[in-house]
Amino acid sequence: MALAPAQLIPESSLATDSSGVMMAKNQPEFKKDSAAVIAAALFPEETKKKTVGSRWAIGGGTGSQYFDQNIKFASAGTNFFGNPSTNYALSAVSKNTGSNSIEAASKEFNENTRSSFSYRAAVGANYRINDKWSIEAGLTFAENKAQTTTSYIIYKRPAALNAIANIKAENAFLDNTSNGITTNVTIPVTIFLAKLTDTDLNNAQVTVEQVTPFNMYYRYRQIGVPVRLRYQQGRGKWFNFVQAGGALNVLLQTSILSDSPKVPAVEYPLGRSSPFRKWYGTALGSVGRGLKISEVWQVQGSLDVARSFSTLTLSTDQIPGLNQQKPYYVGFGISSSYVIGKK
């Protein structure tokens, strides 16, 4: 039986369909990256908005440091002080003759003063200028400490008591009187406060007692406003960075603490006059390495240095016999940051 014409399939139709199938198989597929490039080209404004929206980051961190207050005393001369007067010293105190005791106390301070545990904490915001450069600012709190092992206690004359903060009457040695601190009184301090609170110590009438060695601690609490410029570069999740800048600091409180029950603690709060500067600037620098945990979160560790633009105490013109340099610290820090506005 012959096939009907309507049932016959033309040869040309078979060839056309086969070529169409082969062309479909050989046609390349667009990858996601290619699609992203095309989308960026087609919608530049949307891409720009996403970039601008991810420039800001907030974060915080902490660290510890070696702090050098850079304060030393000039060696005392043979006429450092006159003969002690019995009006200003207790007869029970074993006196050291001559000026060698003050000189020895000064030398001991210079040799035995070292850094104690110091730390800092910070919060701040970072603005990304481009892929490598950014600028950051924030607020820091630091507690810097130094300590001295000393074996000398100096009993101060009354003339300098006004410069010693927070001394209570029960911490002073009094003659027979019920009027609190009077003219016949001595205050036990160490060479640190003795020199910083008496600009005429070379003429002072003091008594020096040599005792079993004990530790003195010098604690400086401050807040600061740092501003830094940062350069960052890396591949993948790891990156390296360096940053430099400066900070303006305010000294909130200075405390002179003692391990000896004979020497009372002394504190200088922000609102009280003291031999220490109330505010000063510092230069800052850091180098470190970090890890990007995600697109919006990263952590980092750094080696940090800071050096003050001025000395910790007042100028040498105001405090004679003081050899001081600008304080500094070297320490390690860890911090993290979180990108805000990321789309």
| CATH assignment at residue 272 | 2.40.160.20
- Residue 155: the pLDDT is 85
- Residue 172: the pLDDT is 46
The answer as to whether 309 is a domain residue is: yes
Q: Which of 16-20, 104-108, 121-125, 311-315 has the highest mean pLDDT?
A: 121-125
The answer as to whether 41 is a domain residue is: no
Question: What's the pLDDT band for 103 if we cut at 50, 70, 90?
Answer: confident
CA-based nearest residue to 318, from 218, 219, 206, 197: 197
**Structural domain boundaries enclosing 214:** 56-340
Q: Which of 193-207, 286-300, 304-318 has the highest mean pLDDT?
A: 286-300
Number of domains in the chain: 1
The answer as to whether 258 is a domain residue is: yes
Round the average pLDDT of the chain to a whole number and report it.
Answer: 77
Task: State the pTM of this model.
Answer: 0.74
The residue written with tokens 């309507």 in the block is 6
- Of 66-70, 276-280, 312-316, which range is least confident? 312-316
What is the distance between the alpha carbons of residues 197 and 319, in angstroms, rounded to a whole number? Answer: 8
Q: Packing angle between helix 32-42 and helix 44-52, nearest 10 degrees?
A: 100
Question: What's the pLDDT band for 181 if we cut at 50, 70, 90?
Answer: very low
Q: ∠49-53-55 over CA atoms, to 5°?
A: 125
What is the distance between the alpha carbons of residues 253 and 219, in angstroms, rounded to a whole number? Answer: 8
List the beta bridge partners of residue 141.
121, 223
The answer as to whether 34 is a domain residue is: no
Length of the chain, in residues = 343
192-246 confidence digits (pLDDT tens): 988 888 766 654 567 888 999 999 999 999 999 999 999 999 988 999 999 999 9
**265 exposure class (CB count in 10 Å sphere: 0-12, 13-18, 19+):** middle
The answer as to whether 26 is a domain residue is: no
The answer as to whether 272 is a domain residue is: yes
Per-residue pLDDT averaged across 148-156, rounded?
90
What is the distance between the alpha carbons of residues 313 and 305, in angstroms, rounded to a whole number? Answer: 20
- Residue 43: the pLDDT is 55
The answer as to whether 38 is a domain residue is: no
Per-residue pLDDT averaged across 279-302, rounded?
96
The answer as to whether 318 is a domain residue is: yes
- Residue 308: the pLDDT is 97
Per-residue pLDDT averaged across 65-84, rounded?
67
Amino acid identity at 124: G
Give the rounded percent of residues in the chain with a pLDDT score beyond 90. 51
